[in-house]
Amino acid sequence: MTDLPILQPRSCGPCTMCCKVLGVEELEKQPNEWCPHVAKGQGCQIYADRPPTCKEFECLWLQNPEMPEELRPDRSKVVLASLKLGDGMSAHVDPGYPHAADTGVMKEFLKVLANKGVPTIVCCGAERAVYYSRSNTPERLLKIIDQLGVQSK
């Protein structure tokens, strides 16, 4: 029996937002700066040889075909990702659009998740905020959120 490739329900297409808002340690690329290897709107110029951080990353829009097209990162200006422990999400906002997580479909999406007990840490430049519902978020996560002392939404 041969191994069949896993078919991804979506592709990045012209979206390169993660190449801007996320840092890549192997490339010494800081968050919120364009990667020197990206052709904006086209993709990675070193795709076959990209570092492990890039190979392992997949935004939630790619993973979930149910997410609306408006939430594609290049359209929403927000890259959504699962936290490593699976306890919540991060929302990396393009600093050129600092209110992108606070408006429209994105805001409603984050509110729905918060009401389901899934907190989202919103990062925009050096600013941090958390979308969460105190009544629906697990107690251990509430303790962490309280210790962080970040703005709640």
Q: Where are the domains of the chain?
A: 18-152
Q: What is the pLDDT of residue 1?
A: 46
Q: Is the pLDDT of residue 149 over 70?
A: no
Q: Are 112 and 132 in contact (CB under 8 A)?
A: no
- Gap between the Cα atoms of 97 and 80, Å rounded: 15
Q: Are 109 and 100 in contact (CB under 8 A)?
A: no
> Helices in the chain by DSSP H: which ranges?
18-21, 52-56, 60-63, 73-76, 104-115, 139-148
Q: What is the pLDDT of residue 35?
A: 95
Across residues 42-61, what is the average pLDDT? 92
Model confidence band, residue 5 (pLDDT cutoffs 50, 70, 90)? low
Which range among 3-12, 37-46, 126-135 shows the weakest confidence by mean pLDDT?
A: 3-12
